[in-house]
Structure 1
Amino acid sequence: MMHMARVAWNYAEDERLLHSEAGPVGRDLARKGERVAAEQRRTAPVSPDGSHGREPGYMRDHISSNLDRDSLGLYVDIGTDAKTPNGHAYPLDVELGTRPHTITSHGDYPLRNPKTGQVFGKTVEHPGADPQPFLRPSLDVLRRE
């Protein structure tokens, strides 16, 4: 004897549970995003003198976690939007390090240290910087849950 069952799918409830920012999946994703952002804030390197004319902790203080949705569904955007005064997003330079490079003045003036008044000239050969990973390692907090 064959038994048949009729199943009625509640698409609105499916949407609420799995795809809504207020549903359990969205809340869990937001919670995990904030945990990763908190770990980034805890481990981000902070220059005691500041950097790029910014106060110490500028990059760390701009770390955030934002739950959003696109055509593929929910996602969480975690990281820092810190930029130099000329608009360069430098957190990846901190994460990955930089090679030696030339820094050139963008005007008819020399480069200088505004705190000490030291003048360097119109170009400077920067020695590069060692990597200081804090973005990728922050994901490890989710493995420890």
Structure 2
Amino acid sequence: MARMVWNKAELARLLDSQSGPVGRDLAVKGERVAAEQKRLAPVSPDGSHGRPPGYMRDHIHSELGRDAAGLHVDVGTDATTPDGHPYPLDVEFPTRPHKIRSKGNYPLRDPKSGRVFGYEVDHPGTEAQPFLRPSLDVLRREV
């Protein structure tokens, strides 16, 4: 009769360690998805939400981590408007029509032309420009 003894430390290093093969594979896949998000992310030539052009794309990252459930990789963007709103969600999903109000004692205006709109405007909403969810297709093509 054969007896098998598991080396628990080595098994943990192989399967649950960030430096093991599973952790390294997750990190590589996270970087591939992040690169695809950067490729797909729309960039406004004028910037948006008070941020410079490419701000959302430049804040896409991949981070390998570990929690109670095990290893995971977080991929995405932490870009926000100056008041803290996660505006990449407004890019990924459509927005409804909404009002935009001046945040001071000055009217809203077009930064290019200087055209004055007033202290409040009715924004028509935006169409979705998905780039987060479609970025996962880069992994699906590998299978």
TM-score range, shorter chain: over 0.9
Question: What letter is aligned with 2:124?
Answer: P
Count of aligned residue pairs for this structure pair: 142
Q: 1:56 aligns with which of 45, 53, 56?
A: 53
**Structure 2 unmatched runs, 5+:** none
3-state DSSP of counterpart to 2:65: strand
- Aligned to 1:34, the other structure's residue is in SS state helix
Residue 6 of structure 1: SS of its match in structure 2?
Answer: coil
Please tell me whether residue 132 in structure 1 is matched to residue 129 in structure 2: yes
CA distance in 1, matches of 2:68, 2:136: 24
Equivalents in 1 of 2:2, 2:121: separation in Å? 77
Q: Give the whole-Å Cα distance in 1 for the aligned partners of 2:63 and 2:109.
A: 37
Q: In structure 2, what is the equivalent of residue 65 of structure 1? A: 62
| Paired amino acid for 1:35 | R
TM-score by length of 1: 0.92
Counterpart position of 2:23: 26
Q: Which residue of 1 aligns with 2:3?
A: 6
Which residue in 1 is equivalent to 2:75? 78
Distance 1:130 1:24 in 2: 41
- Point out the structure with max Rg over C-alpha: 1
Counterpart code for 2:136: L
Task: Measure the CA separation in 2 of the matches of 1:72 and 1:140.
Answer: 24
**Residue in 1 aligned with 2:41?**
44
CA distance, structure 2, for counterparts of residue 43 and residue 138 of structure 1: 7
After superposition, the CA RMSD in angstroms is: 1.3
TM score, norm. by length of structure 2: 0.93
Q: Is 1:144–2:138 an aligned residue pair?
A: no
Secondary structure class of the residue paired with 1:76: strand
1:5 CA displacement: 2.4
Measure how far apart 1:109 and its partner are.
Answer: 3.0
How far the C-alpha of 1:143 sits from its partner, in A, is 1.1
Unaligned 5+ runs, structure 1: none
| More divergent stretch after superposition (48-57 vs 101-110) | 101-110
Whichever residue aligns with residue 126 of structure 1, its letter is H
Per the TM alignment, residue 123 of structure 1 is displaced from its structure 2 partner at its CA by 1.2
- Give the distance between the partners of 1:20 and 1:121, measured in 2 at CA: 57
Instruction: Give aligned-pair identity as a percent.
Output: 74
How far the C-alpha of 1:108 sits from its partner, in A, is 3.2
Compute the displacement of 1:114 (Å).
Answer: 4.1
**Separation in structure 1 between the aligned mates of residue 84 and residue 17 of structure 2, nearest angstrom:** 34
